[in-house]
Amino acid sequence: MSTIALRVLFLVFLNFSGYAISGDKEAGEARYNKTCINCHGPAGKGAASYPKISGNEISYVTEKLQIYRDGIEIGPNSGLMIMMAKPLTDEEIANLAEYLKDAKYTN
């Protein structure tokens, strides 16, 4: 079997196995600081009435952002989160989840 065919098979396997490509922490931080920080505060620590979102497993953040992106309500401020999550790509969600897992706020 050729190398190209093996690569194609591997990609097909990934696609159907539910395997998630790991995110890029630095890219996640940059994306976070673009919009999310305005409500959730630095490093996802939470601010005002917006909850802390750091320190969660990657799967948790990924799932929540995908739910919001799909327009499904899961809390009283869903309207806001749906609006913010709509433009996120799979890669951006993976990056955000990777960054938020260990993000810590230090003043």
Partner 1 sequence: MTILGKFKFFSALVASAMMLCGLTSNALADGHSGMAVPSIKSSVVMSGLENPWDMAFLPDGTMFFTEKCKGLSVRTTSGKVHALYGMKGSKGYKSSGSDLFCEGQAGMLGVVADSKFASNRTLYLYSTSNKYHGSGCKTNFEKCDGNIVMKFKVAKNMKSVSGRTDIVTDIQYKPFKSDQPFGGPGAHNGGRIRIGPGGYLWVGTGDRHRGLCPQDNSLLCGVVLRVDGDGNAHPGNNPPAGADNRIYTYGHRNVQGIDFRPSDGRAFTAEHGPWHNDEITALINGGNGGWDPHEKRAGRGACPDQYCGYEPNQMEGVDPAVRAAYTPMSDTRFSDLMTPAWNNNGFSQGTGSAAFLKGSNWGIYENRLSAGIMGIAFGDTPSGSRIDMYDIAADGLSIRSVVRMPLGFSKRFRGLVMGPDNALYATTDEGEIYKITASK
Binding region for partner 1 (CB under 8 A): 35, 38-39, 41-42, 45, 47-49, 75-77, 79-80, 82-83, 105, 107
Residue 105: name the closest of 46, 34, 61 by CA: 46
Residue 24: name the closest of 104, 93, 88, 105 by CA: 93
Residue among 42 and 55 whose Cβ is closer to partner 1: 42
The Cα–Cα gap between 53 and 80 comes to 15
Residue among 10 and 71 whose Cβ is closer to partner 1: 71
φ, ψ of residue 47 in degrees (nearest 5): -155, 140
Q: How far is the CB of 10 from partner 1 (least distance, A)?
A: 40
Residue 38: name the closest of 26, 50, 20, 21 by CA: 50
Residue among 45 and 64 whose Cβ is closer to partner 1: 45
Q: How far is the CB of 42 from partner 1 (least distance, A)?
A: 6
Q: How far is the CB of 38 from partner 1 (least distance, A)?
A: 5
The Cα–Cα gap between 95 and 22 comes to 8
Residue among 42 and 90 whose Cβ is closer to partner 1: 42
Q: How far is the CB of 1 from partner 1 (least distance, A)?
A: 49
